[in-house]
Structures are given as structure tokens and as C-alpha cells.
Chain A
Amino acid sequence: MSHTPLVKTTALSKRYPGVLALDAVDLDLVAGEVHVLFGENGAGKSTLISMLAGSNTPTSGEIHLRGQKMAFKSVADAQKHGIFTVFQEFSLIPTLTVAQNIFLGKEPKRGPFIDHRAMRAEAAAMFAELEFDIDPNALTASLSRAQQQMVEIAKAFHGDLSVLILDEPTASLTDREVDHLFKFIDRLKADGVGIIYISHRMQEFARIADRITVLRDGARIGTVNMADTDDAALVEMMTGRNISEIYPKIARQTGEVVMQVKDLRAPRLHPASFDIKAGEVLGVAGLVGSGKSRLFRTIMDLYPRQSGSVTFRGHDISRSPTREIIQAGVYYLSPDRKHEGLDLAKSSNENLGLNPVMARTNERLRGFVNWSAIRTATDHTADKVELPQSYRPKLVSQLSGGNQQKVLFGKAFGQDIDLYIFDEPTVGVDMGTRAALYLLIKELAEAGKAVVLISSDLPEVLNMAHRTLVFAHGRISAELSGDDMSEDRILKHFFDETGATT
């Protein structure tokens, strides 16, 4: 539109003790465009937006807003200049209503008292305009994560919006909600708002992005027009290596059926039936909220089961508690390493040791732990997942996300397991660590174990799995293998409403 960009950074740098988090990054955002920031974790995306949002100050370099040099003192200061940011961590208070949250700190008043009626009316009007289907009187805690995201956006929206920064807004949205959000973004674009959009989901870029800036190790690798690029080129820019170096080829030697699921019924899921075979990587694809994770958590008795049968190596485990299912030889890797996977205040060695202790291998005396044998086992595991020696006695909380994930992965070893269920095993992990974890999956599958790979990352499923179950709306919408397993086919079934059974 105009020649002066809305926002322009020149040689923007941020140095923390010992690390250069952002290295002389130039970025410009013009009015009415969606500018995607793309890069691995730790590439500097969050650092960059935190400075634009006013929650962080640059070490050197400049930020210009409409040609004027800016130095934001706080998030509120940036907001005063029209820059609003929706962070991944929500700033909503769960015990207040939606309307109260939106007007928090700027409540309409009548005399000294809060005018609740005006507040509700204004919030309702705002939602009507944004076409969000949310009740302003609802308690925030009762909303879904997606709805909370909408409220968060609405919070940014009331005010003089000229730049909107969205940090992984679709990470927890269902497809319909994503559609909604994108429609909304289109409207903002038309109004001349500049949007900075952070996401890992490449399939979204084609739908909304105008330009993409790729960051790696704090430096800007390049800025490209969406029209001139493709996924492979972006991944190569992001990682500095070719896609084929990341995903290993896994030989397929399908063996006997290890687990058979028949008509499994559970709340919010349609009856599901499928087999899992030894020596095979079974991919499970679908959007967040499609039920792909829920189904396997139901099998593990982490969610309530209603009826149907689950047979594992000839034994019915559909009524067994989680403990017995694990002891029978099924391992479930949680997608939430902080809350469900690891004991953060303990060392890597202690975390790795827990499963061998519970597996009762190496017990010389019943009920007593043979710590030296456990230690040998954990050393072996740590070698296997390539956890550096110096990290092993360290507390897990002090490790980087990638190394934490290695520890979590390591917990899968050191016990007798025939079926591994990996639920989002590479979430929040950089490409280097990913490649290492993929090799471990390859090793397991080729050793004749059954592997289930649940992932929201489509390239991961496409490149790793031999066979793929696609989930949509709580049901298995397709089972694909071989040449049928293409990106187009899988994506088509993501939005499948009919639910053709397999």
C-alpha cells in the first residue's frame, strides 16, 4: 500500500549472558499483510516478538513504527501504539466471566461502580461483530481452549489495532475454529492491519501467508514470498539440511497382530476398530481435537472406557488399569513432558531409573532395588538416546526442551515392551533432536516392535509411517497405506464429515 512499512526492525539483537538469542535481524511488516515467522524452537522467533510486543528490550538495533523510532517500555506501552500480541500462554483469569476478562483493568464505570450491564452489552456486541459464538457471561474456565483463544484475540481487538502478533494461534484449535480464525485474519488484512504470525504448521501458510521470514539460530536466513516457495525449500531454510536427511527409511517387516481394537466406545469418540502389527509403524494423523490422542489414551485407561474389546497379545486388556497394561508390555509416551512425563525436580538419571525399578528387572531381593544394576541400565539408555554425559546427573528442569524430550524418550527403554505408543513425540523439539528420535523409532520397528506414532505434524507421519489412520471428528475417517498415503489424501480425510469406516 504505502512505501513506509508499518513496522521495521534494523539489526535488532538480543544478547543474554552467554547466548546471542537474536542476531541483527531486519524485518519489515507492511500494512495489510500476513507475515509468517518460521523457524525451529530456539531460533529466536519468541525473542523477536517479545521485543515488538514490549515485554523485552533489545540489546542493540532499532524498532521503527511508521518510520518513527520506538522504544517500548512495557506491553501496555506497545499496546498504546497499536501493537497487540496474543501469546501462547493466555492471560485470562479462569474464575472471571468472559466479559470481565475482556475489560479487565478498563471496566466501564457508572460513578465509582463497575457498570456490569454496559460491559456485557459491549462484549456481546464485540463478539457479534467478530462472529465469535461465545457467551460473554460464561465463566472463562468453562470455555474450550479454542474459545479462550478467541477471547484472548478479542481482548487485543478492542483498542486501536494496527499490528497484531499471533504466537502459534492454531496449536490447539479444531479445523472449524481455524477456518474461523483465518476468516477473521482476512478481515483484519482488508482493514490494513499488519499481522505477524508464528506457526510450525506449513500447511497453513499457503492459506494465509503473504511473506515468510525464516529464522535459524537467532539469525534471519531469508524472507520469501509465499507464492515463490514450497515446503521442501522452507524446511531446508529452517534446518539447513535436506528433508531426506531427517527422516530415515524404515524397513517394513510386518509381523503378527499385536493389538486388536474392536468397537471401542468412549465419550466423544465414535466406535473404533483397528489392528496394530509388530514390525510396523502405524501413523495416526488428524487435527488437534480430532480424537486421535483421546482414543489411545482411552486404550491406556487414562480416559474412561465404555465398551468394546482391546486384545493385546491374546489377552483382553479392555478392563485393565493403566498399570497392568504397561506391565503387559504397552508403553505410552505422553505428549506433555512437563505435567505427565517427567519429574522436573529430579535428575535425568533418576527419571530414567524409575521404569527399570518398576519393571523389577535386576532385583536381587524381592521388593529391594538393586541401584547399581539400575544405574547400568540408565547409563545404557542415556547412551542410546545420546544424552550427553554431563547432563545425566543434572535436574531435568535445567535441560533444554530437546534434551528433556530425550529423557522422556529414554523412559521407554529398560523394560520389556512390545508396543510403543508415541503421542506427539517430537512436540517442541528441534530438527537435530528429531532426527535422533526418528532413528530410535526406526530401530524399534526394525527390531520387530509395534510402534504407533500419533502426530499433528503431517510430514512426520507421511515420512515415518507404513500405514496411517486418519482421524476426523472423533472417528477414524480413513486407513491409508502405501501410495495412498499422500499429503492430499490425508488432508482430505482431515475434514471428512461422513466418516467412511475402514
Chain B
Amino acid sequence: MSSQTGTSEGPNIIKRLFIKVGVLPFFLGIALVVFTFLSDKFLTGQNLLNVARQSVYLVLVSMGQMLVLISGGFDLSVGTAIALTSVVSATGMVAMASVFPDAIWLAIILGAFMGFAAALMIGLVNGVGVAYFEVSPFIMTLGVSSVGAGLALFLTGGVPVSGLPFAFGDTFGFGRLWGIPVPVIVALICIIIMWVFMSRTRLGTQVYAVGGNIKAAHLSAINTKRTLMLAYIICALIASLTGLLLTARVESGEANLGGTIALESIAACVIAGVSLRGGIGRVENVVLGAFFIVLVQNGMNLAQVSSYMQMVLLGLLLILAVIFDQLRYRMILSGN
């Protein structure tokens, strides 16, 4: 009780903030200071706007990843869902465009649905494996990730699918609505839907409950298997949407899209305070977490850190975030 003096007041506030929101505010503060110091172009309105636009893809995937993490698992196959969506939808659009040369939007929509269907299969397989066969999410999604990546390469022979309808890239890759880039609008809509889903719907509450204690959830009349399925399916579908946006951006169907996004999205979630044990996590923090990752990448680019070194730093950041997550969980459970 003697520690209630002025000097320990500061650490106490830091500790309480850390327990409440996790490590993100601290990382964000450090990153802003370091990169502002390293490059005078970093803290400019133009650059931050740029970061916001670039972060759209990671923000989307991270929200899906968050859903699976909160349910108590994780999804390593998000990158594969993106790649498969990209090649399937691109192939579909090219094929449909030759069938309906006069109805180009019909071809785009049909192609997009083929992409969604491919990702749905990924989500379904993940969900069935984890929920019904109780395969560890790590192995299940790692296996599916290999299967999906192999299929994407097999379908295209490793060659990018080109000749996409011009309107597709023009609208979803580079288009603007009311002066705002279309991908940003898509992301904003998704953020709002996810926020409502997680905090206002019964299904969202179920995901939290299943991740927190699956046996207790079972005894609260929750269909735990269906809830797990749902998490993996939504995650794959959001990744698929991201895959479409990326395909529009690069204007071709590529099997190597989303190569590092599984790691990045998990890092974004963990930094944003999503617990790796499930049950804990908030949409708004995850959005900020994904933004932070892109901000760090942008800062490293401006500071002319080589892309190889960036991989090293990103991995270290993830490990650091997990260590802090561990500490935080211990603090929560010990009740200090």
C-alpha cells in the first residue's frame, strides 16, 4: 500500500491503458516519432492520405482475420483466398466478356461471383475442418493455404491472366466516387457492417462467446460449430473481396497476390489487442492496427529501408506484439 505515491502514478496509468487497449497506442506513438525524425516527408497530409489508401486492403483482410481470431482460431489461408479469387475471377471475366461482349458489366459481375464462390469453398473447408473434425486451425488453414495456392498456379500455369474488362480496373482499382477512391468507400462500408455485426448482433456476440469459452458457450445454447463455420466463411469472403479490389488495381489475375498478408493481418490484429486465445478484440482497434502496419511500411520506405530488411522488422514486430499480448493476458487473469 506504500506504493501509492506520486512517482508510481504514471506507470499505473500506462499499465491500465495497456491492459485496456493493448500495445497499439505505444507502438503508434513510437512509430510516429521515429519516422518523423527519419524522414521529413513522413508527417505530411499527402503522405498520410496515401497511407490511408494503401491500407484499405490490409484493413479488410484484418477484419476477417479478427473474426477468426476472436472465435479462438486463426486463418493462414487469407492470402490464398485472395490469390484464388484473383485468378478465378479474372479468368471468369475474360471468358464471360467474350460470351457477352455487349454486356461488359454482366461479365464483371459473373466473374466476381466466381471469385467469391472459390473463396467460399476455402472458408467452408476451413470451417468444416475446424468445427466438425476439430483439426487445429493452424494445420487446417496451412493445408488449405497450400491447396489453394497450388490450384491458383495450376489454373493459370503461373502466368498472369490479362485482358480484363477495362471498366473493372477503371472503377474498382482507380475510380473515385465524390472524390474518394472506390476501394476506400468499399472498406468504409465493410468497417461499418463489421462494427454493427460484432457489437450489435446476436451472431457477433456468439463469436465472442465461443472464443472466450467454447464449453460455456455450448451450455448457453449456442451452436458452437455453426458459429465457427460462420467465422471462417466470413473471413474468406472478406479476403475474396480484397482479392477483387487488388485484381482491379493490378488489372490482371495473379496467383502471387496476397503472399504476405496472412502474417501482416495477424500482426495487425494482435497489435490491436485481439487476443490469440480468442474472445477479445474490437473492430475499430483492428482498423487502426492495420493502418499502423501500413504506416510502418510506408515509413520504412521513406527512410529507405530495404524490402528484405522490412521483412525482418515486420516479423520482429509481430513477435513483440505477441509477447506483449501474453503479458497483457497474464495481467488480466492475475487481476492486477
Is A326 touching B213 in the complex (CB atoms < 8 A)? no
A157 to B202, CA, bound (A): 55
Given contacts A18-B1, A345-B275, A346-B279, contact A357 B205 (CB under 8 A): yes
Q: Which residue of B lies closest to A322 (CB)?
A: B218
Residues of A within 8 A of B202 (CB): 357-358, 360, 363, 367-369
Is B335 touching A345 in the complex (CB atoms < 8 A)? no
For the complex, is B244 an interface residue (Cβ under 8 Å from A)? no
For the complex, is B333 an interface residue (Cβ under 8 Å from A)? yes
Is B221 touching A345 in the complex (CB atoms < 8 A)? no
Name which of B203, B209, B217 has the most chain A CB atoms within 10 A of its CB: B209
Q: Which residue of B lies closest to A333 (CB)?
A: B219
Residues of A within 8 A of B200 (CB): 368-369, 371
Residues of A within 8 A of B332 (CB): 345, 395, 397
Residues of A within 8 A of B275 (CB): 345
For the complex, is A438 an interface residue (Cβ under 8 Å from B)? no
Q: Which residue of A lies closest to B213 (CB)?
A: A343
Is B201 touching A368 in the complex (CB atoms < 8 A)? yes
A354 to B210, CA, bound (A): 11
How near does chain A come to B23, taking the closest CB pair, in angstroms? 17
Name which of B1, B216, B222, B279 has the most chain A CB atoms within 10 A of its CB: B216
Residues of A within 8 A of B215 (CB): 334, 339-340
Is B280 touching A395 in the complex (CB atoms < 8 A)? no
For the complex, is A205 an interface residue (Cβ under 8 Å from B)? no
Q: Which of A375-421 contact B (CB under 8 A)?
A: 395, 397-398, 411
Q: Which residue of A lies closest to B196 (CB)?
A: A368
A340 to B221, CA, bound (A): 13
A73 to B218, CA, bound (A): 45
Is A327 touching B212 in the complex (CB atoms < 8 A)? no
Residues of A within 8 A of B213 (CB): 339-344
For the complex, is B301 an interface residue (Cβ under 8 Å from A)? no
Is A326 touching B203 in the complex (CB atoms < 8 A)? no
For the complex, is B146 an interface residue (Cβ under 8 Å from A)? no
For the complex, is A207 an interface residue (Cβ under 8 Å from B)? no
A327 to B334, CA, bound (A): 35
Residues of A within 8 A of B222 (CB): 323, 358
Residues of B within 8 A of A397 (CB): 332-335
For chain A, which range describes its interface: under 10, 10 to 19, 20 to 34, or 35 or more residues?
20 to 34
Q: Which of A18, A332, A369 contacts B219, CB < 8 Å?
A: A332
Q: Mark A310-326, 1 if CB is under 8 A from B, else 0.
A: 00000000000011001
For the complex, is A147 an interface residue (Cβ under 8 Å from B)? no
Q: Which of A17, A339, A344, A369 contacts B333, CB < 8 Å?
A: A344
Residues of A within 8 A of B209 (CB): 343, 354
How near does chain A come to B16, taking the closest CB pair, in angstroms? 13
For the complex, is B162 an interface residue (Cβ under 8 Å from A)? no
Q: Which residue of B lies closest to A363 (CB)?
A: B202
Q: Mark A214-239, 1 if CB is under 8 A from B, else 0.
A: 00000000000000000000000000
For the complex, is A355 an interface residue (Cβ under 8 Å from B)? yes
How near does chain A come to B206, taking the closest CB pair, in angstroms? 8
Is A395 touching B221 in the complex (CB atoms < 8 A)? no
For the complex, is B105 an interface residue (Cβ under 8 Å from A)? no
Interface of B, secondary structure class, is helix
For the complex, is B329 an interface residue (Cβ under 8 Å from A)? yes
Q: Which of B197-255 contact A (CB under 8 A)?
A: 200-203, 205-206, 208-209, 212-213, 215-223
A324 to B303, CA, bound (A): 59
Q: Which residue of B lies closest to A395 (CB)?
A: B332
A497 to B194, CA, bound (A): 59
A345 to B325, CA, bound (A): 13
Residues of A within 8 A of B217 (CB): 354
Q: Which of B283-332 contact A (CB under 8 A)?
A: 329, 332
Q: Which residue of B lies closest to A338 (CB)?
A: B213
Residues of B within 8 A of A326 (CB): 219-221
Is A345 touching B329 in the complex (CB atoms < 8 A)? yes
Given contacts A340-B215, A358-B222, contact A345 B280 (CB under 8 A): yes
Is A398 touching B216 in the complex (CB atoms < 8 A)? no
Given contacts A17-B1, A334-B219, A398-B335, contact A343 B201 (CB under 8 A): no
A252 to B196, CA, bound (A): 48
Q: Which of B1, B208, B219 contacts A322, CB < 8 Å?
A: B219
Is B220 touching A395 in the complex (CB atoms < 8 A)? no
How near does chain A come to B221, taking the closest CB pair, in angstroms? 4
Is A358 touching B201 in the complex (CB atoms < 8 A)? no
A17 to B279, CA, bound (A): 31
Is A341 touching B218 in the complex (CB atoms < 8 A)? no
A367 to B196, CA, bound (A): 11
Residues of A within 8 A of B223 (CB): 323
Is B279 touching A343 in the complex (CB atoms < 8 A)? yes
A360 to B215, CA, bound (A): 20
Residues of A within 8 A of B221 (CB): 322-323, 326-327, 355, 358-359
Residues of B within 8 A of A17 (CB): 1
Is A369 touching B279 in the complex (CB atoms < 8 A)? no
Q: Which residue of A lies closest to B224 (CB)?
A: A323
A367 to B202, CA, bound (A): 5
Q: Which residue of B lies closest to A321 (CB)?
A: B223
Is B219 touching A340 in the complex (CB atoms < 8 A)? yes
Name which of B202, B215, B219, B334 has the most chain A CB atoms within 10 A of its CB: B219
Residues of A within 8 A of B212 (CB): 343-346
How near does chain A come to B71, taking the closest CB pair, in angstroms? 13
Is B203 touching A367 in the complex (CB atoms < 8 A)? yes
Is B219 touching A395 in the complex (CB atoms < 8 A)? no
A354 to B202, CA, bound (A): 9
Residues of B within 8 A of A345 (CB): 212, 275, 277, 279-280, 329, 332-333
Question: Would you mind naming 22 contact pairs between A and B with Cβ atoms under 8 Å apart?
Answer: A323-B218, A323-B223, A326-B220, A327-B221, A339-B213, A342-B213, A342-B216, A343-B279, A344-B213, A345-B277, A346-B212, A354-B209, A355-B220, A358-B220, A359-B221, A367-B203, A368-B200, A369-B205, A371-B200, A395-B335, A397-B335, A411-B220
Beyond A322-B219, A358-B206, A395-B335, 10 additional pairs, beta carbon < 8 A: A322-B218, A323-B222, A340-B213, A341-B216, A342-B213, A345-B329, A346-B208, A358-B221, A367-B203, A369-B205
Q: Residues on B close to A: CB < 8 A?
A: 1, 200-203, 205-206, 208-209, 212-213, 215-223, 275, 277, 279-280, 329, 332-335
Closest 8 CB pairs of A and B: A398-B335, A343-B212, A326-B221, A340-B215, A343-B213, A397-B333, A323-B221, A358-B221
